[in-house]
Amino acid sequence: MSDLLRVEKLTAGYGEAIVLSDLAFTLGQGEALALLGRNGAGKTTLLNTIVGLTRRRAGSIALGGRDISTLRPDQRANAGVGWVPQERNIFRSLTVEENLTAVARPGKFDVERIYRMFPRLAERRTNMGNQLSGGEQQMLAVGRALVLNPQVLLLDEPLEGLAPIIVDELLAALRNIIREEKMSVILVEQSARKILPLTDRAIILERGTIAWTGSSAALLEDKEALATLLAVAEKK
């Protein structure tokens, strides 16, 4: 598996505060990575750094062999970085369809494909963004990132605060994106047991450094790592 994303000796943060220290990892073409850790461990900061929203102090980020470390966020998006932030950042004054068509680029993910993936959005294609439920807004945020047809998709806690039925729908869509479409994905989520079955590898951050790395299947079996690094109780 060839490396699509390569992060080397990355140190970054906000202003004078350093959050990430000397991080290094790769993401293969078509690989899905679970990015885990307690609150404040640096997960969102790492995604924000890949997107270009933090102050990089050292190290490099390469996408498809191209160094994107010094590019602006819009240039990184053009280079192939897709992002679904915690805040969703949909256009609330535009319709569902306008949200999707406003940013769509040529590729296999078009508006109709998003509607097939998320039938709720098809039913609400003329609704404004501010007329959608939280779960529908999250679906729209994922769809809007996909119609950019990125090389890598970053998702920051896409299941947070959603009703169980919506969580199930989103998990099914993510499973399709990862397993069937072979999209390269970095997925941040508090509920490790929900996303580890979807992903190939996992990284656990602790205080801005990598505390554990390995296969997702191995982490699911590593009760000590789940308990001590993630405070995940053993399933009864």
In a domain, 223, yes or no: yes
In a domain, 56, yes or no: yes
Residues in a beta bridge with 83:
154
User: What was the pLDDT predicted at 169?
Assistant: 94
Pairwise CA distance, residues 189 & 197, whole Å: 13
Convert the pLDDT of each residue in 22-62 to its tens digit: 999 999 999 999 999 999 999 999 999 999 999 999 999 99
In a domain, 69, yes or no: yes
* 178-215 per-residue burial string, b: 16 or more CB within 10 A, e: under 16: beeeebbbbbbbbebebbbebbbbbbbbbebebbbeee
Contact 24, 9 (CB under 8 A): yes
Number of domains in the chain: 1
CATH number assigned to the domain comprising residue 2: 3.40.50.300
Convert the pLDDT of each residue in 59-112 to its tens digit: 999 999 999 999 999 999 999 999 999 999 899 999 999 999 999 999 999 999
- Both structure tokens of 125: 């294609």
In a domain, 86, yes or no: no
Q: How far apart are the first and last CA of the chain?
A: 36
In a domain, 17, yes or no: yes
Q: Please state the rounded mean pLDDT for residues 211-232.
A: 92
- Both structure tokens of 92: 């609330």
User: What was the pLDDT predicted at 236?
Assistant: 44
Domain region containing 54: 1-80+152-161+186-236
User: What was the pLDDT predicted at 25?
Assistant: 97
In a domain, 181, yes or no: no
| pLDDT classification of 233: cutoffs 50, 70, 90 | low
Side-chain half-sphere of 46: how many Cα atoms within 13 Å? 34
In a domain, 57, yes or no: yes
In a domain, 87, yes or no: no
Q: Please state the rounded mean pLDDT for residues 114-118.
A: 96
